[in-house]
Structure 1
Amino acid sequence: MQTVDSNLDNLSSASDIIDALQNILRSQAFMPDLDTPYSRPSVQNIDHPTIDSELNSKISAIPIDERQQQLDTVLCNISGLETVMNGIKIFHQQLVERKEKIIQSMTVHKGLEPAIWRLPTEVLSHIFHCCLPEDRYLSPASNLAPMLLTRICRPWRDVAVDMPSLWCRLHVKIDIGQEENEETLIAWQRATFFYDSWLKRSRGYPLSLVLERYLSTRLLRSLLQPYSNQISFLSIKFSRRAGQLELLLKNVPALRELVILGMNSFDIRYVAKSISQLPSTMRVLEIMDSPFDVMDSPFDALHIYSLNPVWAHLTQVKITLLHASAFLHLLRLCPNLSSLTVVAAFFHQRALVLFTHTNIQSLILIDCNNLGMMPNPLGDLFDALSLPNLRVLEARCSYHSPWPHEQLRDLFARSKCPLERLIFSNCMLEMDVPRAEYVALIPSLDVVVNV
């Protein structure tokens, strides 16, 4: 028969002990019947029994030895069980003490837990926004937000993935070569799966996208097509001919800002045609090249006119121009323009008619005329302008171009504008700037010279 001690040997946990004891109790539930006809009291005097030989023979047949063995076993089990019960009482007390210590430890550590782990989702969301890089677009990187935020812990990942505003800026740059073969297509599918997963998390929010390197315009269009209604800002740096630009600018009804970089003189007509089809939501347009390339890809008056449907809605423009007449055409077509940056290399000057633009508040002129013309062609432009709402003018010019200070002073006097800042950069020594003349004309003017 299995004893209590043998049932409790090598038990490693409280649950094992409890299970073993329950098994012992179940095994002891059956108690054999030990009574016989001779174990019950009778009318005979038990102190002086009268037993005949037949009765004596029957009693001697009763298994007394078996009863003694059963008694010894029960006594052993009682002793063992008492030992176990004392041990269980001690173990129970230890478990109670351990419980109290665990509760105390939990209470202490909850108090020491960093406050950031207990922040509400709304507060944590605000912190996540502050973790984002300041770039207008985001290059996916595992060590930068928002990707980094998904790798800290599961609660942070859940919060970050559920914040569409974290996934609304994206820089698409896929370096897999330029030929469409099996290898590059597999690499493209792998890359676009990642970008598509990113864009899905934006969940309808306005998107800011930069497109720099990609296998083909057709494949890129297939990636962006499900999100075309969300695109609000789009910057395109050509790695392909601009003739395919129309595919990227097709059906972007929410587009407000467009930046086009890297075009050449052969691309201008395609760019102009594509832009002319943009929606009335457009407010900001940037078509600029490096000053060193200005002679290769300027917009002339013809191209300016071809964008006619778009100009009326624009409020900010950055553009490269080769003719002062194109500058004036641009102002006529953009009545709502408030900010204008022009990379200018004016020559072949024509007679200009005075034009007044009432909404321009900020004007940046980057003069790239390195021909050393006397006088500077910008002087004729200043003579043809009146800007009554101008507040900031910044002039950046080459070292070879004498700046037309007199014509600029006359522009201010004619415009009677509330000019606040006048900034000269790159080329002019302080002694070359008639600061006193400008301040005499507008006493509150802040004249800044950056040599």
Structure 2
Amino acid sequence: MASPFAPRLGTNYCPTGEEVLQIEALLVEPSLRLKGLDDEIAELQKAIDKLTEERNNLSIYVDGHKALISPVRRLPLDIIEEIFVACIPTHRNCVMSASEAPVLLGRICSSWRTISLSTPRLWAKLHIVEPSRWRFGSSNALVDDKVAQRLDTMKMWLGRSGQCPLSISLQSGPDYDSPPSTPTETSGQFLQELIPFARRWQHIRLAMSPVVFKELAHLTAEDVPMLESVAVHPQHQYPSAGVPWEHFGMLSSPRICSFAATGNSFPLSLFNPQILPLCWNLLTDLTIDGPTWQSPMSSGAMLQTMSHCTQLRTCKLVINDLGNPDLSHYSPVALPFLHTLELEFGTTPGSPVSRLLDWLSLPELRDFTLHGHTIMPHYLVSFFGLCPRLESVSIDSNSFSKNSLLENLRGLPPTTRHLTIHDISHGSGDPLAASLDDKALEVLTPASGISTCCPALESLTITYCSLISDSALLGFIQGRMAIADDSEVGHTATLKRVEIQFNRRMTLDVMPSLKPFIETGGLEVLISYISSRSTQFSPWQGLVDAPSPWAYSDDW
């Protein structure tokens, strides 16, 4: 509608008295029309509401009858059971929670509850958490009630498992009110209730006070005929003499193929495989981890142990050499089936890791991880040369000097597909620690006339780096993705994923340049930077209601 006041609309103009009268007269007819439209809308809304009510009633009728003929109601019982079993976590045991299977499955409807309660496989995995009696926590009465509740739930849960092999993990926190040599009554309660099910233990993981482990000392291999894996992680606040392994006859069970323990579960001396009554030649998975300063495993002990484990497939060890180890009197160790090896070394003046690795023959190794700080350069080129199937390498930058890092990158086998570098040396102040900078990416960036390092590389992950520039990263990705167009190279680009976590601010936005590779080449790029800090010159400084210094943006 045309209006003589159109130029004034939406402004702060104040009309004169005469203009006020003109505006009032101008609005008479439009106001009447507006009221008429409101009345029409109200009538139509009544009709719509009536139709909506009728539609909802019909929908309830139709949906109710459709539910009766839904396919899920006609699924055979065995199919439903398999679907239920597929809902169980595969990477850990089930927890006592109604938010996930199997408890959640019994809360959908009565028929599903009946099925879930009568399917023993759903209840064959259980993670048990012992309530801790914190010094500044809940009252003893409240903890006692929670303990009783979980004990009842545990017995009911395992009672539903029928005769299925059991996977159980028991987690207890440290009891700060107990003397270091006194087991908590609660830990003993839970373990004592689990022991009657020992004949069905298949996988057992125990994280509790080391003193409580004596409850297991009377078990023999005959008492645990199904036992295949054992994990022991003592929980305590005080120095301990470790777990009395020599009394654990259950470890001699011939079906145990996986063993894991933390360093503090052993006496504070060099590791000796003879203290464990394991059938070492049957182990396929071995883990001795924990803080390096707690590890009893030396380089020599590692060679001695691995020489007994010829069937190993995966191995994770924490090495703590207290001096310069003499490995000359050890024999080379051949592990023909080992495909995953993870080593972590403490900071010692001992020999380089490469000297230890030279004693290993690992023809099937595919996944290699090396953690830890070093004060000596490690050159792994000869080791890499003896691993013809190596595909995944994960290293810490401070495990190498700068020169040895570059040399080892150049020596990676051509089969390497996944490379991860944890840059944790920045700011350490150690002149021998590697500085992960542009030169490292230059080694991995294809160059004309030079054979490409790691031609099969599919993924590169670098964490917490500060010295790699955005331009070097862009050059690396562009070089890798352009390799398909280089006829001299003779193969196509393999890079599929790049993840970089920068411990600095962005200096160059590389994503626009990478857009063609992402959209057409299927490349996945994840780049993150630390948040930029805004100015600290706040005009609110000194006031009780001053905003957070991280939120300043428009202050003067």
Q: TM-score, normalised by structure 2?
A: 0.53
In the alignment, is residue 281 of structure 1 matched against residue 251 of structure 2?
Answer: no
Structure 1 residues 401, 254: CA separation in 2 closer, same or farther (over 3 Å shift)? farther
Amino acid at match of 2:382: D
In the alignment, is residue 268 of structure 1 matched against residue 242 of structure 2?
Answer: yes
* Equivalent residue in structure 2 for 1:205, among 152, 157, 164: 164
**Equivalent residue runs for 1:129-278 within 5 Å:** 129-175=85-131, 177=133, 188-213=147-172, 215-241=185-211, 244=214, 246-247=216-217, 250=220, 251-262=223-234, 266-274=240-248, 277-278=251-252
CA-CA distance at 1:420 after TM superposition = 2.8
1:409 match: 381
Instruction: Select between 106-115 and 206-215 the one with higher mean Cα deviation.
Output: 106-115
Structure 1 residues 147, 248: CA separation in 2 closer, same or farther (over 3 Å shift)? farther
1:275 and 1:298 map into 2 onto residues whose CA distance is 22
Asked whether the equivalents of residues 124 and 166 of structure 2 are also in contact (C-alpha less than 8 Å), the reply is: yes
* Equivalent residue in structure 1 for 2:366, among 379, 391, 397: 391
2:355 match: 380
Asked whether the equivalents of residues 354 and 385 of structure 1 are also in contact (C-alpha less than 8 Å), the reply is: no
User: Which runs of 5 or more structure 1 residues have no equivalent in the other structure?
Assistant: 1-104
CA-CA distance at 1:132 after TM superposition = 2.9
Asked whether the equivalents of residues 242 and 270 of structure 1 are also in contact (C-alpha less than 8 Å), the reply is: no
Asked whether the equivalents of residues 192 and 215 of structure 2 are also in contact (C-alpha less than 8 Å), the reply is: no
Amino acid at match of 1:363: L
CA-CA distance at 1:177 after TM superposition = 4.1
CA-CA distance at 1:323 after TM superposition = 1.1
CA offsets 1:31-77 (integer angstroms, 9 cap, x no match): xxxxxxxxxxxxxxxxxxxxxxxxxxxxxxxxxxxxxxxxxxxxxxx
CA offsets 1:228-264 (integer angstroms, 9 cap, x no match): 1111111111135255253485522211111111357
User: Which runs of 5 or more structure 2 residues have no equivalent in the other structure?
Assistant: 1-59, 173-183, 290-295, 423-556
Asked whether the equivalents of residues 84 and 116 of structure 2 are also in contact (C-alpha less than 8 Å), the reply is: yes
Structure 1 residues 243, 421: CA separation in 2 closer, same or farther (over 3 Å shift)? closer
Asked whether the equivalents of residues 318 and 340 of structure 1 are also in contact (C-alpha less than 8 Å), the reply is: yes
Amino acid at match of 1:169: K
The higher-RCO structure (CA 8 Å, 6+ apart) is 1
* Equivalent residue in structure 1 for 2:283, among 314, 334, 343: 314
1:447 and 1:155 map into 2 onto residues whose CA distance is 48
> What is the aligned-residue RMSD (CA, Å)?
3.5
CA-CA distance at 1:306 after TM superposition = 1.8
CA-CA distance at 1:185 after TM superposition = 6.8
In the alignment, is residue 338 of structure 1 matched against residue 313 of structure 2?
Answer: yes
Asked whether the equivalents of residues 366 and 392 of structure 2 are also in contact (C-alpha less than 8 Å), the reply is: yes
Asked whether the equivalents of residues 245 and 276 of structure 2 are also in contact (C-alpha less than 8 Å), the reply is: no
2:115 and 2:410 map into 1 onto residues whose CA distance is 59
1:5 match: none
1:134 and 1:314 map into 2 onto residues whose CA distance is 22
Q: Which SS does the other structure have where 1:380 is aligned? A: helix
Q: Which SS does the other structure have where 1:312 is aligned? A: helix
Q: TM-score, normalised by structure 1?
A: 0.64
**Equivalent residue runs for 1:430-445 within 5 Å:** 432-435=405-408, 437-439=410-412, 442-445=413-416
2:362 and 2:269 map into 1 onto residues whose CA distance is 23
CA-CA distance at 1:169 after TM superposition = 1.0
Q: Which SS does the other structure have where 1:340 is aligned? A: strand
Aligned length: 332
2:303 match: 328
1:349 match: 324
In the alignment, is residue 419 of structure 1 matched against residue 390 of structure 2?
Answer: yes
* Equivalent residue in structure 2 for 1:110, among 65, 68, 72: 65
Select the structure of larger CA radius of gyration.
1
Structure 1 residues 389, 299: CA separation in 2 closer, same or farther (over 3 Å shift)? farther
Q: Which SS does the other structure have where 2:154 is aligned? A: helix
Structure 1 residues 308, 153: CA separation in 2 closer, same or farther (over 3 Å shift)? closer
2:250 and 2:224 map into 1 onto residues whose CA distance is 13
Amino acid at match of 2:392: R
1:134 and 1:447 map into 2 onto residues whose CA distance is 25
In the alignment, is residue 370 of structure 1 matched against residue 347 of structure 2?
Answer: yes
1:124 match: 80
Structure 1 residues 267, 203: CA separation in 2 closer, same or farther (over 3 Å shift)? farther
1:136 and 1:212 map into 2 onto residues whose CA distance is 13
Asked whether the equivalents of residues 217 and 247 of structure 1 are also in contact (C-alpha less than 8 Å), the reply is: no
CA-CA distance at 1:333 after TM superposition = 1.6
CA-CA distance at 1:277 after TM superposition = 4.1
Q: Which SS does the other structure have where 1:226 is aligned? A: helix
1:138 and 1:147 map into 2 onto residues whose CA distance is 9
Structure 1 residues 385, 112: CA separation in 2 closer, same or farther (over 3 Å shift)? closer
In the alignment, is residue 450 of structure 1 matched against residue 450 of structure 2?
Answer: no
Instruction: Select between 250-259 and 184-193 the one with higher mean Cα deviation.
Output: 184-193
Asked whether the equivalents of residues 263 and 297 of structure 1 are also in contact (C-alpha less than 8 Å), the reply is: no
1:116 and 1:226 map into 2 onto residues whose CA distance is 39
Percent sequence identity over matched residues?
20
Amino acid at match of 1:210: S
CA-CA distance at 1:204 after TM superposition = 0.9
Of Structure 1 and Structure 2, which has the larger fraction of its residues in helix?
A: 1
